[in-house]
Copies of this chain bind each other. A is one copy, B any other.
């Protein structure tokens, strides 16, 4: 009866809320996952690598892929495209993997619409806006303009937290990691993922 199910774990939350740091902690404690690398047309930040942080591509290539229906979701954020290719996600799901997405609220809504039953989603924030501003200013990787855009966007995104299943306030890395690991641990045992007839008939054997 032990079936192995693929599932999707979506993380969203304002830029600067600590998603990447949290994910690094989570990867130490979970198995059999596939992190979905987004494709983007924005410039790499210092230290970012193609194929690790993002698949960096040109606006022209991105728009060609949109036309071909290659994206599970995509959006234009702060003037740049971000998107998730469908093919590797489907493959990982078929292999029974936990597919992890770091995408924004629009992306979440689009994936939910298509694949609701296999999705578990988490909204992550800093304790408050001031803390987010502090973190964005202190990491000093972005220009003032970009930081302002991120803050404006954060104010908009937080309105959507209740579209998600779970809500993590990241003010203590250890506690937040524990919560995120717990969510990852059980994303593949949601009853929605199981076929009722298969389960009942094989249980009665």
Residues of A within 8 A of B (CB): 1-2, 123, 125, 127-130, 155, 158-159, 161-169, 171, 178-179, 181-183, 185-186, 189-192, 194, 196, 199-200, 202-205
Shortest Cβ gap from A87 to chain B (Å): 29
Which residues from B are CB-within-8-Å of A165? 190-191
| 16 A–B pairs (Cβ distance < 8 Å), ordered by A | A2-B169, A2-B171, A123-B191, A127-B203, A129-B203, A129-B204, A130-B205, A158-B199, A158-B204, A159-B200, A161-B191, A162-B191, A167-B189, A168-B189, A179-B185, A182-B183
Bound Cα distance from A168 to B189, whole angstroms:
7
Are B169 and A190 in contact, with the CB atoms below 8 A? no
Give 8 A-B pairs besides A1-B127, A2-B169, A179-B186 with Cβ atoms closer than 8 angstroms. A1-B169, A129-B204, A158-B203, A161-B200, A162-B191, A162-B196, A167-B190, A179-B185
Are B2 and A203 in contact, with the CB atoms below 8 A? no
Which residues from B are CB-within-8-Å of A1? 127-128, 169
Shortest Cβ gap from A78 to chain B (Å): 20
Shortest Cβ gap from A95 to chain B (Å): 20
Nearest B residue to A123, CB-CB: B191
